[in-house]
Structure 1
C-alpha cells in the first residue's frame, strides 16, 4: 500500500474513509508485486493499481461495495482470462489474490503515523494481517527501525512482539515480506499470515565526474527513485546550476567523499571521469565496499589500461570482477541521454538479476519468482 502513501496520507489527515485493495499473493506472470494497492474514497476517487489494468474495474467495484456497506474485509482471487474481452481476469496467465477492506482513519492513528513517516522520508514498516480469523483480517501494526514499541495491535501482545522483530529485519533489508505467526497447538492454535510493507530511505546513486553524461544520469536516477549525488574534485564544474536534478552536488576528491559517506547494498556507484588520477583510488575503495553496483565509463582501451592500473594498485581479483566496465548495456547509445538510459538499464538488470537481453525470442516467465 505504500506505493500510494502520499494520497492515503492526505485522506487519513482529513479523516476521510476509503476502501483499500492490497495484492497479497501472486503467482505466474502477475503484472504487479505483492503489497501493491488500489484505494477508493467515498467520492469515487481512485488511486493506485493492482493489475496494471486487467481487473481494475472489478476491484474498483468491490472497493465501492465494501466502503458503502461496511462489510468485513474480504479476499478475492483473479486468475487467467482467455481472449473473451468481457471476462474478468488476467490475460497474462497469472493469478493474484487481493484483500479489500474499509479504512476509517479516525480509529487508526498508527496508520496515519506510518504514512506520515513515509511522507517525511523516514524508514517505517506496516504489518497487515492478510489471512487468519475473519475478525482479525486487515489489522495493522506500525513498526519503526529503532527499539520503540510498535503502534496498533494484531490482536495479541506476543504476536505484536514477534512480528515487530521480524518486520525490523525486513525494514533493514528494504524488503516487503510475508510472515507466519501462531499455529502452535498448545500455546496459540490460531495461525496468521502477515504482510509487512516496508519503506526505507531512498537508495543512493553516487555519480563521480561532473560531465554531460552525469547530468543526464542524475535525471534518470532521480526518476527511478534514487537519492542522487554528483561529486567532482573541480568546484567550477560541481555546481547545483549544472545538475539541478541531483539531490546533492559535492566538490571533493571522489575517493575522499566516498570514504566519508554512507553506502549500503542498494547503492550504485557510477564513475564517469575516465581519468586515472581520480578513477584508480576511487575504484580501489568502491570495489571493497558492500555496494550493489560499481560501473566505470571508458573505451575498451581505457578499460584495459584501468584494469592494469587496478592490479598494480593491489586490488584483489575478486574485487576487480565486480567492476562493470565499460559501463552500461549495449543499446547503441550516442547522446548523454541515451548513455544514461543504458547505464540505468544495467543497474536495474543487475539489481533484479535480469539478463538484459530482449524479451522477444526469449522463453520463461517475464517476472521470475523472487
Structure 2
C-alpha cells in the first residue's frame, strides 16, 4: 500500500471515492508479493497493481462491485488449465486478493512517508483498516477488544518487519492481514568467538538482520559464521560509529577485552539502541565500569549496560548461552519481567505502547 499511498492521499484531498485491492496471500510462483495493492476510483481509473496484468481486469471489476455494495470481498486466483486466456496466473501460482472500501484519510496519511508502520486490514465484510506505528494508532475496527488484539499483533509483526495473515484471538472466526513497512531489526554482534556463531544463529531465527564484527580479519569470516547476513573486519567502535541504528537495534558485545570493549561501549551507550549487553565476569564488569566512568560516561548511561550479559538459565554451552542472551534482549525490547509466567498474574503478552493514542 505504501507505494501508492501518495496518490491515495491526493484522491482523499480531492474527494474522489475509490476501492482498494490488496494481495493478502501468495502460494507458489506469483508476479507480486503479499502487500501489493491496486486502487480503483469511481471513474474507473486504477493505480498500482496486484498481479502485473494476469488478473487485473477481474480485480478491477471486483473493485467496481465493492464500490457499489460497500461490502469487502476476498477472492483467490490461480492457474487455469482450460485456457491461457481464462482468469488465472499463467506463472502457475495462486494469489489471494482482498478488496475493500477506501481506508480513512488518517490511515492513508500514516502510511505515507518513510516511518515504520504496520497496516492491518480486517478480512471481513467491513474491511476496517488500521495503521499502527510504535507510538500511535490510526483508525479503528469499531470493536475495542478487536482493536487491542490487532494493534498488539501489528506491533509484534512491525517489530520483526514481518507480513502475513493472523487469526484474531478474541474472535476465532476472524482474520487480519498485517503488512509491515519496516526493515528487519538489526543485531550487531561484536567479537568473532564461538559464542558469536550461536548468537548469530538465534538472531537469524528471531528475524534479525545479523552483522558480526571483529577487528581480526582471520576470525571474521563467512565460513565461521554462516548464519550472519554480514561479516565486518574493522575496529568495533569505528564500525558502530558509521552504522545506522534505531530503537530496535540490539548490540551484543562478546569480546570481553578492554582494548575493544571500552571504546565500543563509549559509543554504544550513547546511541538510541534498544539493548546493549556485554559478556564478562563480575570482576570484568566492575573493571569495565570503572574505565567507562573515567572516560566520562554518566550513571544514567552506564545503567543501560546489561552485564554480565544474559539471564540466569544455568547456561554452559555456546548454544545455551545464546538462548540466555536472546531471552534477555527479548525481555528488554518487549517490557517482559524475565520471571516464570507461572509466578505472575495478568496478561501474558506485553504491549509497552498499549496506551498510545488512536485517531
Q: Please say whether Structure 1 and Structure 2 have the same fold, judged by a TM-score greater than 0.5.
A: yes
| 1:135 and 2:55 matched | no
Q: Which runs of 5+ in 2 are unaligned?
A: 1-21, 35-45, 53-67, 75-97, 120-130, 143-150, 152-175, 355-359
- SS of 2:225's equivalent? coil
TM-aligned CA deviation for residue 200 of structure 1: 1.5
TM-aligned CA deviation for residue 308 of structure 1: 0.5
TM-aligned CA deviation for residue 14 of structure 1: 7.1
- Structure 1 pair 368–238 and aligned structure 2 pair: CA distance change class (3 A): closer
Match of 2:111 in 1: 167
Match of 1:100 in 2: none
The 5 A counterparts of 1:1-370 are 8-10=25-27, 13=30, 110-111=49-50, 135-137=70-72, 155=101, 161-168=105-112, 171-172=115-116, 177=132, 179-180=138-139, 197-368=179-350, 370=354
Distance in 2, Cα, partners of 1:338 & 1:275: 22
- Structure 1 pair 164–202 and aligned structure 2 pair: CA distance change class (3 A): same
Figure out how many residues of one structure are paired with residues of the other and give that number: 235
TM-aligned CA deviation for residue 330 of structure 1: 0.6
- TM norm structure 1: 0.56
Residues 224-278 of structure 1: CA deviation (Å, up to 9, x unaligned): 0000000000011111111011000100000010011111111000000011111
- Given that 1:9 and 1:112 are in contact with CA atoms closer than 8 Å, whether structure 2 keeps it comes out as no
- Structure 1 pair 168–343 and aligned structure 2 pair: CA distance change class (3 A): farther
TM-aligned CA deviation for residue 321 of structure 1: 0.8
Distance in 1, Cα, partners of 2:197 & 2:314: 19
Distance in 2, Cα, partners of 1:171 & 1:136: 30
Distance in 1, Cα, partners of 2:329 & 2:203: 10
Q: RMSD of the TM alignment (CA)?
A: 3.7
- Structure 1 pair 6–225 and aligned structure 2 pair: CA distance change class (3 A): farther
Distance in 1, Cα, partners of 2:291 & 2:276: 17
- TM norm structure 2: 0.58
